[in-house]
Amino acid sequence: MIIEKLEELLKNAFYKCGYELESIKVIKSNRPDLCDYQCDDVFKIAKVYRKNPIEIGEMIVSEINNIEEFNKYFDKVEFARPGFINIIVSDEFINNYIRSMEKDIKAIMNMPEKSETFVVDFGGANVAKPLHVGHMRTIMVGESVSRILRFLGHKTVTDVHLGDYGLQIGQVIYGVKRDGKTVDDIDIKYLDKIYPEMSSLCKSDEEVREECALITKELQAGNEEYQKLWKKIMEVSIADIKKNYDYLGANFDYWYGESDAYDYLEEVEKILESKSLLTESNGAIVVNVAKEDDKKEVPPLLFKKSNGAYLYASTDLGTIVQRMKDFNPDHILYVVDNRQGLHFEQVFRACDLSGIIPYESLEHLGYGTVNGEDGKPYKTRSGDNPKLEGLFEKAREIFISKKESNKDMSREDIDKIVNSILKFADLQNSREKDYVFDLNKFSDVSGKTGPYILYTYLRINKILKEEGMEYNLTNKIYNKADRDLRLKMLDYVDALELSYRERKPHYLAEYLYNLCTVCNIFYQTNHISGLEDKVNKNDWLYVLTISNNLIKEMLYLLGIEVPTIM
């Protein structure tokens, strides 16, 4: 990696001047008009050695300028008072890294020393309920995080972990019985109608709510009639969920649900008992997970209700035991709404206390809400959460209306563009933050949008197909637009490492947009087609080839496919 090499060179210079530090930090310059990279550690060293930073800085720069292979790495290294080392790297240095990316863009990365196993839990829809716009974020973030992990050599096990045994099932079964319906009457249209109706009724009628809770408990206990209805609800609902998730390109190794955890609850209870973690509270069985140094109250984890029913926390513990047995993961990641933060804190602490898996191996990747222009969760004009299928159709209509020729595009290409619209709109935002969803703006081919990224890739691809190219690159860089692009190509390493380390794909999305912006400036500044200088032309085609490989790889990591035309 270019920054690490610069840090190594500077560290050696500091050492030769008699200054030792565990590490030297080089960063991208915050004044790119002055230099490419900078080091501010002169201040740190001056403090440690109690010397004037100007004296130290000038000595270090003098040492660097006298190294034997200065021109191999640097064009210019200067000291800027009161304590900054400004670095302009050489064309040769830049181009050596770009050459190494020709066969594999990972060549300039430091890959993790050890491949680890990550279980990534995302999707998590409740069956029997229609999917709406709020379900998009878990899919987009979860799929992108999984792809980033695999790109870096880790193994992923992805599990949709459906909510398939909770109160909403009891509510739907109650509605089926009330309406005199049979198994054969349950289809997606009926589920779309009955669930919101029963959910609303339970909020206003305590007697109905208690009856639905009883049905849920009896279902979990094995009631044959309820089991038959549940299986049909599952069949119908999962088919609809899969259709929507497939459209968004979500890939799951397992379609487990909350119900699958019930086989492990007895074992979980024994583990908790063996650690003396189960206590009684008002007839319920709980695990006290609070710590003395908690700044906010962390209530006990409710393991079993007074009526003997299990809850989400219980089944989440059961699922973790199952995952440890089946996959022995190093990490388990949960891509779930921010509002579930307390729930996961309780579960993670219980796992740590019981020895099921260490706390630090469990991560809740919380995400914010998708809001309308009023700053409130995105709704249709009628005030409902828009269903995903309806949102997909609306995005298609808006994109097609943008340009007359869009009407002639294939459905497959349009669907790829719709995915880019939705995914880039979402993933350009840090996952834990809420964001405003403006479908019309995000459908534009200009601005910070998925279509802009795709258009850039296709335009460069067209140039590369039209022009012949030899596979070699000289050490010459021809102008500022050229240099800016080559340096920007090397920045993907930092964006990818941040996305991996923080489990936040928005770093990649931001980098991809900036790369495309610089590519477009390069394209507009340098007219390749009519260029007579064959060496210059070949250099630029080489650079565009690597940059387009980068764009396509970054798109893949964000879960976006490239259409044939735009």
Residue-by-residue pLDDT tens, the chain, 566 positions: 889 999 999 999 999 999 988 889 999 998 998 999 999 999 999 998 999 999 999 999 999 999 989 999 999 999 999 999 999 999 999 999 999 999 899 999 989 989 999 999 999 999 998 888 889 999 999 999 999 999 999 999 999 999 999 899 999 999 999 999 999 999 999 999 999 999 999 999 999 999 999 999 999 889 999 999 999 999 999 999 999 999 999 999 999 999 999 999 999 999 999 999 999 999 999 999 999 999 999 999 999 988 888 889 999 999 999 999 999 999 999 999 999 999 999 999 999 999 999 999 999 999 999 998 888 888 765 556 778 999 999 999 999 999 999 999 999 999 999 999 999 999 999 999 999 989 999 999 999 999 999 999 999 999 999 887 777 899 999 999 999 999 999 999 999 999 999 999 999 999 999 999 999 999 999 999 889 999 999 999 999 999 999 999 999 999 999 999 98
Tell me, what's the pLDDT at 380?
Answer: 61
- Largest alpha-carbon pair distance within the chain? 90
Which residues are registered as beta bridge partners of 186?
none
* Strands ordered across the beta sheet of 74-80: 26-28, 37-39, 84-89, 74-80
Judge contact between 64 and 10, C-beta under 8 A.
yes
Q: Going by DSSP bridges, is the β-strand pair 117-121/155-159 parallel, antiparallel, or unpaired?
A: parallel
Measured at the alpha carbon of residue 402, what is the angle toward residues 401 and 403, in degrees to the nearest 5? 95
Report the half-sphere exposure of 278 (CA within 13 A, side-chain side): 14
* Strands ordered across the beta sheet of 301-304: 278-281, 284-287, 301-304
Tell me, what's the pLDDT at 374?
Answer: 83
How far apart are alpha carbons 419 and 450 in whole angstroms? 8
Question: Beta-strand (E) ranges in 24-160?
Answer: 26-28, 37-39, 74-80, 84-89, 117-121, 155-159
Which residues are registered as beta bridge partners of 278?
287
Tell me, what's the pLDDT at 539?
Answer: 95
Q: Tokens for 449, please give them.
A: 């949008």
Nearest to 436 by CA among 446, 425, 448, 447: 425
Residues in contact with 392: Cβ distance below 8 Å, sequence separation at least 6, in sequence order: 247, 415, 418
Does the N-terminal peptide bond of residue 386 adopt cis geometry, omega within 30 degrees of 0? no
CB atoms within 10 A of CB 383: 6
- 284-307 pLDDT, tens digit each: 999 999 999 999 999 999 999 888
CB atoms within 10 A of CB 21: 13
Tell me, what's the pLDDT at 133?
Answer: 87
Judge contact between 123 and 237, C-beta under 8 A.
no
| pTM of structure | 0.94
- The DSSP code for 126 is B
- The DSSP code for 67 is S
The number of angstroms, rounded, from the C-alpha of 53 to the middle of its chain's C-alpha atoms is: 42
Residues in contact with 147: Cβ distance below 8 Å, sequence separation at least 6, in sequence order: 556, 557, 558, 559
Tell me, what's the pLDDT at 375?
Answer: 84
Nearest to 109 by CA among 544, 498, 543, 513: 498
Q: Delineate the domains of the chain, giving CATH numbers in brackets.
A: 2-89 (3.30.1360.70), 167-247 (no CATH)
Tell me, what's the pLDDT at 372?
Answer: 86
How far apart are alpha carbons 262 and 272 in whole angstroms? 16
Tell me, what's the pLDDT at 357?
Answer: 98
478 residue type, one letter: Y
Question: Beta-strand (E) ranges in 413-474?
Answer: 435-436
Query: For the packed helices 167-178 and 188-204, what is the interaxial angle rounded to 10 degrees?
Result: 100
How far apart are alpha carbons 326 and 268 in whole angstroms? 15
Tell me, what's the pLDDT at 447?
Answer: 93
Q: Is 125 helix (H, G, I), strand (E, B) or coil?
A: coil
Tell me, what's the pLDDT at 363?
Answer: 98
- Supply φ then ψ for residue 498, to 5 degrees: -65, -45
- The DSSP code for 105 is G
Tell me, what's the pLDDT at 381?
Answer: 59
Does the N-terminal peptide bond of residue 451 adopt cis geometry, omega within 30 degrees of 0? no
Judge contact between 510 and 495, C-beta under 8 A.
yes
Q: Helix, strand, coil proportions of the chain in percent (round to 5)? A: 55, 10, 30
